[in-house]
C-alpha cells in the first residue's frame, strides 16, 4: 500500500534550471509496498526440492526393481523406458529443468539459422587443411634437420 503523503523536507527541495549544476534532487520517494516475492520463492524452492526427491525415488525404484527382481529383456526395457520418461517429466517440473529445456529450444533455433556448407565446400576445405598441415610439417622437419646439421658442425659432432 503506497503512502500518499511526502515528508516536508522533500517538498522543500527544488530542481536547478541549469542541468550542469548538481543539487540534492531525490529521484523518487521511497516505495512502501510489501514484497510478496519471498513466499512465492519459498513455494518454488519447496516444489523443486520435492521434484528432485521424486526423481531420486523413481531412479532408486528403477534400480531396485531391476536389481532384486529378474525380468525378461523386454520387461526390463519397459521399466527403464518408463523410468526415463517419468524422471524426464519430473526434471522438467523443476526450475533448472525448465531452464535446460528453454536453452535446448534456443540452441535448436540457432542451429536452424546456421548456413551449413555443401559437401563440395567441405571436401575442398578439408583438402586444403590437409595439404597445408602436411606442407607445414615438411617445412618444420626441414628447419629442424638444418638446425641439427648446423649445431653438429659447430660442435664438431657430425
pLDDT grade for 48, boundaries at 50, 70 and 90:
confident
Taking the C-alpha atoms of residue 93 and residue 97, their distance in angstroms, rounded to an integer, is: 6
Kindly state whether residues 103 and 121 are assigned to the same domain.
Answer: no
Higher pLDDT, 12 or 133: 133
Would you say residue 83 lies in a domain? yes
Would you say residue 47 lies in a domain? yes
What is the pLDDT at residue 30? 52
What is the pLDDT at residue 142? 98
Q: Which residues, including other chains, have CB under 8 Å from residue 97's CB and lie 6 or more apart?
A: 51, 91
Taking the C-alpha atoms of residue 63 and residue 69, their distance in angstroms, rounded to an integer, is: 10
- 136 pLDDT higher than 70: yes
Kindly state whether residues 42 and 105 are assigned to the same domain.
Answer: yes
User: Domain containing 156: what range?
Assistant: 117-158
Kindly state whether residues 49 and 90 are assigned to the same domain.
Answer: yes
Q: Structurally, how many domains does the chain consist of? A: 2
Distances 117 to 106, 123, 124 between C-alpha atoms, Å: 22, 10, 11
The H or E element spanning position 11 is helix 8-12
Kindly state whether residues 41 and 109 are assigned to the same domain.
Answer: yes
What is the pLDDT at residue 119? 96
What is the pLDDT at residue 24? 47
Kindly state whether residues 105 and 155 are assigned to the same domain.
Answer: no
Kindly state whether residues 134 and 153 are assigned to the same domain.
Answer: yes
Q: What is the pLDDT of residues 65-96, one digit of tens each?
A: 888 888 788 888 888 898 899 999 988 988 88
Amino acid at each position: 500500500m503506497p503512502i500518499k503523503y511526502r515528508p516536508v523536507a522533500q517538498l522543500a527541495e527544488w530542481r536547478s534550471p541549469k542541468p550542469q549544476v548538481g543539487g540534492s534532487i531525490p529521484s523518487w520517494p521511497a516505495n512502501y509496498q510489501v514484497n510478496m516475492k519471498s513466499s512465492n520463492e519459498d513455494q518454488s524452492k519447496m516444489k523443486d526440492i520435492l521434484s528432485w526427491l521424486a526423481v531420486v525415488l523413481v531412479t532408486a525404484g528403477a534400480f531396485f526393481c531391476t536389481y532384486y527382481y529378474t525380468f525378461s529383456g523386454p520387461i526390463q526395457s519397459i521399466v527403464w523406458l518408463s523410468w526415463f520418461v517419468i524422471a524426464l517429466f519430473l526434471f522438467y517440473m523443476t526450475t533448472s529443468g525448465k531452464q535446460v529445456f528453454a536453452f535446448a529450444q534456443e540452441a535448436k533455433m540457432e542451429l536452424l539459422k546456421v548456413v551449413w556448407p555443401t559437401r563440395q565446400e567441405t571436401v575442398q576445405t578439408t583438402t586444403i587443411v590437409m595439404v597445408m598441415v602436411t606442407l607445414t610439417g615438411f617445412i618444420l622437419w626441414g628447419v629442424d634437420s638444418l638446425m641439427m646439421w648446423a649445431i653438429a658442425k659447430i660442435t664438431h659432432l657430425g
